[in-house]
Amino acid sequence: MAKIICVLYPDPIDSYPPNYAREQIPKIEKYPDGSSVPTPSQIDFKPGELLGCVSGELGLRKFLEDKGHTFIVTSDKEGPDSVFEKELADADIVISQPFWPAYLTEERIAKAKKLKLAITAGIGSDHVDLQSAAKNDITVAEVTYSNSISVSEHVVMMVLSLVRNYIPSYEWVIKKGWNIADCVERSYDLEGMSVGTVAGGRIAQAVLKRLKPFDVKLHYTDRHRLPEKVEKELGLTFHENVESLVAACDIISIHCPLTPETENLFNEKLINKMKRGSYIINTARGKICDKDAIVKACESGQLAAYAGDVWFPQPAPADHPWRTMPHHGMTPHISGTSLSAQARYAAGTREILECWLDGRPIRDEYLIVANGDLAGVGKHSYTVGNTTGGSEGVK
């Protein structure tokens, strides 16, 4: 029998919801590329419920305990006295989320002698030291595509919020004002602007597709160039490198994975190559942007504004400077954990567990590391390395 540790974000401050704003969510059977949504044998939850927090348990407890497995769910994940750290030593499987990541550092992996599977309930496995996972023959899997559209919708919301100066305008309403000049002094039309994505994967393409009707000029860069047909359909301009992309665009949306090569990619040098008054949207990973360089650029006006929902470390410390810098539109890491997305990544997590526990192959598109090397989607998107450095300071 296996011991499974599941690290999820805490329950709502005002207790677990007795009811929801909507009684149901639309049923999605296929992703835009035609691939199927997760297909576990069954689920023990109602889609649209809050599953990503501790009480939600990703709807897994009945399934696992009925089979005799030990299932531990906690939000306590940092430090030697945390539940996660104490239970990790004899755990077979760890489940975590990008939104409240249980950082699997080299040191933690060394302590987890029985660990054989690390599942990301969502997309993005950079909170795992992939190099150490491969070295220790730990399989790493994530629920690819489960929340890609969720994130792309969040990006469009953030683009419009920044360009149209929505947040300060809303705040004037709360303050009972009618200060139109103050509201519009930083408000522009999106029409005619140039928007670029760093990467051209599923989320980036979904963002580009959703922004095309705004009559913007669309650009992208990626180490894997998209097919000519896709470029023509979306009217994309391809850039060989990120320096060329940022120089041409008014808005940059970051969608590349966090790897040793992209860590602190958006530093002061690169930001200064952007047009003055540009915008950055980052729903990829906080560590792709140099924290202090972003603050400086927002203060100087090199950036008109910055928005995103990814930080490093996570949860972000109370004194993180992105909380208080001018002209930002930050949210906690929520873009990929809407109630709709939770239904898919909870089902996907169960599918991965069913395959693993039954000795059946995990979908290739879910695999990041397997058999001591990058595998599946991981081979396309990641490089073997470690991006967990600094996570030890999470409080």
Catalytic residue flag (residue 285):
yes
Query: ∠ at Cα 36 (284, 124), nearest 5°?
Result: 20
Is residue 389 predicted with pLDDT exceeding 80? no
pLDDT at 223: 92
Cα–Cα distance between 76 and 100 in angstroms, integer?
Answer: 10
Geometric angle at alpha carbon 379, from 202 and 371, rounded to 5°: 135
How sure is the predictor about 361, in pLDDT bands with cuts at 50, 70 and 90?
very high
Sequence ranges of the domains in the chain: 3-144+337-376+386-393, 148-323
Whole-angstrom Cα distance, residue 166 to residue 333? 20
Of the pLDDT bands very low, low, confident and very high (cuts 50, 70, 90), residue 387 is: confident
**Strand residue runs (E) in the chain:** 3-7, 70-74, 93-96, 117-120, 139-142, 194-198, 217-221, 236-239, 251-254, 278-282, 303-308, 367-370, 373-374
Q: What pTM, to 2 d.p., does this model score? A: 0.95
Looking at domain 3-144+337-376+386-393, its CATH class is alpha beta
**160 sits in which H/E element:** helix 148-163
Among 252-266, 333-347, 377-391, which stretch is predicted with the lowest mean pLDDT? 377-391
Distance CA 174, CA 187 (A): 19
DSSP secondary structure letter of residue 97: -
Whether 178 has a pLDDT exceeding 80, the answer reads: yes
Q: Look at residue 294 and tell me whether its pLDDT is greater than 70.
A: yes
pLDDT at 112 over 90: yes
| pLDDT for 388 | 75
Which of the four pLDDT bands, split at 50, 70 and 90, describes residue 390? low
pLDDT in tens, 28-60: 999 999 999 999 999 999 999 999 999 999 999
Which burial class, exposed, middle or buried, applies to 192 when counting CB atoms under 10 A from its CB (0-12, 13-18, 19+)?
exposed
Active-site annotation holds for 314: yes
CA distances from 86 to 83, 91, 127, 185, 264 (A): 5, 10, 19, 53, 32
> Would 3-144+337-376+386-393 and 148-323 be classified into the same CATH topology?
yes
Tens-place pLDDT, residues 204-246? 999 999 999 999 999 999 999 999 999 999 999 999 999 999 9
Say which of 239, 255, 285, 350 is annotated catalytic.
285
Question: In this structure, what DSSP letter does residue 364 have?
Answer: G
How far is 280 from 295, CA to CA, in rounded Å? Answer: 12
The percent of the chain in helix, strand and coil, each rounded to the nearest 5, is 35, 15, 50
Instruction: Assess whether pLDDT exceeds 60 at residue 392.
Output: no
53, two tokens: 């927090």
10 Å Cβ neighbour count for 79? 11
Instruction: Name the active-site residue from 97, 127, 131, 147.
Output: 147
* DSSP code, position 56: T
**pLDDT value at position 383?**
78
* DSSP helix/strand/coil, 65: helix
Instruction: Look up tokens 């995103």; give the residue.
Output: 308
| Annotated catalytic residue within 202, 333, 344, 350 | 333
Mean pLDDT within 62-72: 98
Side-chain half-sphere of 308: how many Cα atoms within 13 Å? Answer: 25
What is the residue-wise DSSP string for 250-296? SEEEE-PPP-TTTTT-B-HHHHTTSPTTEEEEE-S-GGGB-HHHHHH
Q: Are strands 367-370 and 373-374 parallel, antiparallel or unpaired?
A: antiparallel
The one catalytic residue among 314, 327, 328, 344? 314
Q: With b meaning 16 or more CB within 10 Å and e meaning fewer, what string describes 11-46?
A: eeeeeeeeeeeeeebeeeeebeeeeebbebeebbbe
Residue 394, Ramachandran bin (φ over 0: left; ψ between -120 and 50: alpha; else beta): beta
Residue 371 designated active-site: no
The tokens describing 168, both together, are 């300060």
Instruction: Quote the CATH superfamily of domain 148-323.
Output: NAD(P)-binding Rossmann-like Domain (3.40.50.720)
The pLDDT, as a whole number, for residue 391 is: 59
User: Does the pLDDT at position 186 exceed 50?
Assistant: yes
pLDDT at residue 81 in the model = 94
Average pLDDT over residues 320-347: 98
Torsion of Cα atoms, 228 then 231 then 235 then 240, to 10°: -100
List, in sequence order, every residue forming a beta bridge with 104; answer none if it has no partner: 128
- Describe the strand order of the beta sheet including 3-7 as a list of residue ranges: 70-74, 3-7, 93-96, 117-120, 139-142, 367-370, 373-374
Q: pLDDT at position 395, please?
A: 40
